[in-house]
Amino acid sequence: MGRANFVTVIWLILLIISETTFCIPGQMCSAAGLPDCLESMSKGNLDLSRQLHLIQYYKSGIKAARSAFLPNIEILGFGEQVGGSRRFNAMTEDIYISSLRHHDKIYGYGITGAQPLIKEGSLLGLGAPSIKKERIAVQKEQTVRKELEVLFTNNLTLRFAELEAYRLLHSYWREMNACTAKSLLMVEEEVARGLKNMKDLSVAQERTELVKTQIATFHSKMVSVEQDIKTIAQLKVDEPLETANILKSLDNDIQIAGREQLLTLAINNNLEIAVLKQECDMLKQDFKIIRNAILPEISLSGTYFQLRGFETDVLDDYWKVKMNFKLNIWQSGGLRARIKQIMELLQAKEDEIKLKEKIIRQTVITSLNQIDALLYQRQQGRTLCKIDQQTLDEKTITVNTGLSNESELCETKITWLETLGEFIETKLELKRQLMALLTYLNVKVTDNSCYKFQTN
């Protein structure tokens, strides 16, 4: 019995080891980075997949519209028995049959074909509105798919920037927590010796609690952003994520093109406006289709037919070629109502385009003003970080030489960490504004290079 239990325990241990992934000390565990998440998102995103199917659907619509202008070929055939007591003449399937006797059994077969020449006001379908409409529909769905790719890519990149910022801020506040805890102990000792009063102790305690609250806040934000990234990229819940050093690129110089150039680029490249313009083009094709319905249609058709008897040879055979002409000389009031409906909807779309352009101009101007302010704050924050870093280095030297105490060093380090945290938050907000501007400019960010907004 003891041996059996021993074997069972060994088996369970091996099973646990086989299902567990260990990180070898000194080596990095495999973690999903921004490129991995972008690739996973592009493959598994249902919105992008749906748009791909819609594109294929409308491409099939182009073929269906073209088929209305292609030749139509049919095979004809019939069989019947004619009864009667005398000879007579008859017409069967447009075929003149002469002198049929009673109880004659006949059958026939043939082939017929037709080719539309002029239809929808176009010759052989060249420039037909119905075909153009389907092509515009394909372009529209392609534009929507591109818009989704830009939105998802930029959103995921921004999420990684937020994750990086929250991890840095979380680490800064944890380091600050160690400093404030140490500073609190020093204040308590000084209060016990009568060097400080209870008010100083209360301030130190409140600061310690505030730091702990900030640690919990940024930990919660960090976990929330990680879950959002894994949901967007369709990763496993326990899969680790690797930050992409996105915020580091914001330390470089950022070149902003002229304001009017950016406004023009934002309006010309905006995908929502592009979709609205394509919808207007589709409505114009609908108008042409309805208008051309009253135009004449001309087609060419031909038929060859052969008539036989079950007990006799060929009774008759013939062929014919026809030029068909069709002209609609009267339409009910529904045609005018439909045209008016299309024109009103077209005007509404054009007004919506103008409204979108105004909104884009206002949004881009606001974004540029905020970016200018954030760039100034970033420069100020960078200068303050260097000053505080230099002060901390000098204070460390004075503590080592006995010219300053540990309490002064802790306060100096806390100030430096607070300045670093504010600098990181400024860069994160700058990143948000830049990503919003890039989305309006229809620019998909896939790297960590310096952002340059130019209209070459």
> For the domain that residue 300 is a member of, what is the CATH number?
2.20.200
pLDDT at 344 (0 to 100): 93
Domain-ending residue, one of 330, 354, 386:
330
Residue 245: count of CB within 10 angstroms of its CB: 13
Task: Select from 304, 330, 356 the last residue of a domain.
Answer: 330
1 falls within a domain: no
Is 9 within the bounds of a domain?
no
In a domain, 17, yes or no: no
Residues 308 and 436 in one domain: no
- What pLDDT score was predicted for residue 36? 82
Q: Indicate whether 307 and 410 sit together in one domain.
A: no
Domain membership flag for residue 437: yes
Helix (H) or strand (E) holding 135: helix 129-192
Residue-level pLDDT at 253: 62
324 and 351 housed in the same domain = no
Q: What is the largest CA-CA distance in the chain?
A: 141
Q: Angle at the Cα of 262 (from 42 to 51), degrees rounded to 5?
A: 25
In a domain, 110, yes or no: yes
Same domain, 75 and 197: no
Residues spanned by the domain of 93? 71-123+296-330
If asked whether residues 303 and 429 sit together in one domain, one would say no
Report which secondary-structure segment, H or E, holds 110: strand 104-119
**Would you say 454 and 257 are in contact if contact means Cβ atoms under 8 Å apart?**
yes
Percent helix, strand and coil across the chain, each to the nearest 5: 65, 15, 20
| Same domain, residue pair 45 and 76 | no
Residues 38 and 82 both lie in one domain: no
- CA 266, CA 273: separation in Å to the nearest integer? 10
Residue where a domain terminates, one of 305, 330, 355: 330
pTM over 0.85? The answer is: no
Residue 253 lies in a domain: yes
Question: Domain with 385 in it: what CATH number?
Answer: 1.20.1600.10
390 and 263 share one domain: yes
Residue 90, SS3 per DSSP: strand
Judge whether 358 lies within some domain. Answer: yes
Nearest to 76 by CA among 115, 110, 101, 100: 110
Mark whether 204 and 307 lie in a shared domain: no
Bridge partners (DSSP) of residue 105 are: 81
How many domains are there within the chain? Answer: 2
pLDDT in tens, 185-233: 888 888 888 888 888 888 888 988 999 999 999 999 999 998 888 888 8
- Co-location of 134 and 198 in the same domain: yes
Report the interhelical angle of 129-192 vs 198-233 (nearest 10°): 160
Residue 2 lies in a domain: no
- Write down the H helix ranges in 45-96: 46-67
| pLDDT means over runs of 10, the chain (456 residues) | 49 42 41 80 82 89 86 81 50 48 66 86 82 90 86 86 90 90 86 84 89 92 90 82 73 68 82 89 89 82 79 70 80 74 92 91 87 89 90 85 78 89 90 84 58 39
Tell which residue, 352, 350, 362, has the closest CA to residue 263.
Answer: 362
Q: Are residues 137 and 253 in the same domain?
A: yes
Choose among 35, 386, 430, 437: nearest CA to 250.
Answer: 430
Handedness of CA 245, 246, 250, 252 (dihedral sign): positive
Closest by alpha carbon to 415, among 442, 446, 390, 441? 390
Residues 303 and 278 in one domain: no
